[in-house]
Copies of this chain bind each other. A is one copy, B any other.
Amino acid sequence: MKRNLGELARLVDGEFQGDEHLTITGVAGLEEAQQTDISFVIGPKHARQADRSRAGALIVPPGLRDMQRPLIVSENPYLAFAKILTSFADEQRPVLGVSPDAYLGSEVKVGSEVSIHPQVYLGDHSVVGDRVTLYPKVYVGAGVHIGDDTVVYPNVTILDRCIIGKNVILHSGAVVGSDGFGFAQDGRRHFKIPQVGIVQIDDEVEIGANTTVDRATMGKTWIQRGTKIDNLVQVAHNVVVGEDTIIVAQVGISGSVRIGKNVILAGQVGVAGHLEIGDGVRVGAQSGIPKSIPPGQAVTGSPAIAHRTFLRQVQFIQRLPELSKRVKDLEQRLEAMEKATDS
């Protein structure tokens, strides 16, 4: 498909420079871009690389508006790039309807303009909204609801009664609604507590590949609007994650944890059970969270402490051999003085 420079500038609320009618056929990195591609420069340190680029046009921040070539000037070139890339990517998904090679249970409701691919399984009483895409091999359990415009990639499992919002993206291998890990002690045996709650995933959430979200023991495990979860993350039963939170790959969140909005959990973080992580908290990679964290804090470490304190602590630990030597030196000097004084 084709666009021209002026159209793209308007799409991103940017300003174009050069020929408004310049044809753009795609988006590419500075090095790969060809003559009809647009590329982007986030900041001045890439200016030189940009100069050499064969791209037909560039998205640049205001500080680079003097470059003598077709430009779109934007306050946020990365966001502008994302929007232009989206506009090129959007038109590619055809509407397939319901494949005769999909399996539909009884009383399934399917909206309009859906793409339900071969080898999909839709359980009894499941409801699929308009313009939903279910790729091959998706499993949708009984009584599941899937909102409009949601995309579910191959080999995703959505178990009975879970509720998926609109514009949600579920990546391959994700499991939504597996049993929470709950047992009562019966002597030495572990007696399984049935997990009869559900998972609710709100609008605009994205769930990464092979991530698992357990259903609640009772009630619901709940991922709120706009939150983005990366691959191989574990979300245990009865967890609530607030809006617009970012959870990076391989994070593990224990049962009944409540996470606020606009939180960032970096990769491989672990959160112990029943804690509250306040709004806007930022947790460094591989941290372990043993107690609740008030809003707005930045913490790191296992057990996690204030991020600045952690950095200082690392330095003190690295200086331990030196400290130890200083103590030994003090001991020798003091002993010498003690001897001198005795005599």
| Chain A residues close to B by CB (< 8 Å) | 27-29, 32, 76, 78-79, 81-83, 85-86, 88-89, 101, 103, 118-119, 121, 135-137, 139, 141, 153-155, 157, 159, 169, 171-173, 175, 178-179, 181, 183-186, 188-194, 196, 206, 208-210, 212, 214, 218-219, 226, 228, 230-232, 234, 236, 244, 246, 248-250, 252, 254, 262, 267-268, 270, 272, 285-286, 288, 302-303, 305, 312-314, 316-321, 323-324, 326-327, 330-331, 333-334, 337-338, 340-341
Asked if B121 and A121 make an inter-chain contact with CB atoms under 8 angstroms apart, the answer reads no
* Cα–Cα distance between A121 and B101 once the two chains are bound (Å): 11
Asked if B175 and A172 make an inter-chain contact with CB atoms under 8 angstroms apart, the answer reads yes
Chain B residues near A330: list those with CB within 8 A. Answer: 327, 330-331, 334
Chain B residues near A320: list those with CB within 8 A. Answer: 313, 316-317, 320
Chain B residues near A250: list those with CB within 8 A. Answer: 234, 250, 252, 270
Chain B residues near A101: list those with CB within 8 A. Answer: 103
Q: Which of B27, B83, B209, B267 contacts A178 (CB 8 A)?
A: B209
Asked if A234 and B234 make an inter-chain contact with CB atoms under 8 angstroms apart, the answer reads no
Asked if A305 and B318 make an inter-chain contact with CB atoms under 8 angstroms apart, the answer reads yes
Specify the chain B residue showing the minimal Cβ separation from A154. Answer: B139
Specify the chain B residue showing the minimal Cβ separation from A31. Answer: B219
Chain B residues near A334: list those with CB within 8 A. Answer: 330, 333-334, 337
Asked if A210 and B210 make an inter-chain contact with CB atoms under 8 angstroms apart, the answer reads yes
Asked if A208 and B136 make an inter-chain contact with CB atoms under 8 angstroms apart, the answer reads no
The list of the 8 closest CB pairs from A to B, nearest first, reads A178-B209, A79-B184, A316-B320, A89-B194, A157-B172, A139-B154, A82-B193, A82-B184
Chain B residues near A185: list those with CB within 8 A. Answer: 76, 79
Asked if A178 and B189 make an inter-chain contact with CB atoms under 8 angstroms apart, the answer reads no
The answer to whether residues A103 and B79 also contact, given A155-B155, A331-B326 and a CB cut-off of 8 A, is no
Asked if B173 and A173 make an inter-chain contact with CB atoms under 8 angstroms apart, the answer reads yes
Q: Closest Cβ of chain B: how far from A263's Cβ, in Å?
A: 12
Asked if A192 and B178 make an inter-chain contact with CB atoms under 8 angstroms apart, the answer reads no
* Cα–Cα distance between A206 and B218 once the two chains are bound (Å): 20
Q: Closest Cβ of chain B: how far from A187's Cβ, in Å?
A: 10
Q: Closest Cβ of chain B: how far from A125's Cβ, in Å?
A: 14
Given contacts A82-B192, A103-B119, A181-B249, 13 further A-B contacts (CB under 8 A): A27-B218, A76-B186, A83-B191, A85-B196, A86-B192, A121-B137, A232-B252, A234-B250, A249-B252, A252-B268, A323-B323, A327-B330, A337-B337
Asked if B212 and A210 make an inter-chain contact with CB atoms under 8 angstroms apart, the answer reads yes
The answer to whether residues A178 and B184 also contact, given A103-B118, A191-B82, A232-B212 and a CB cut-off of 8 A, is no
Chain B residues near A188: list those with CB within 8 A. Answer: 244, 262
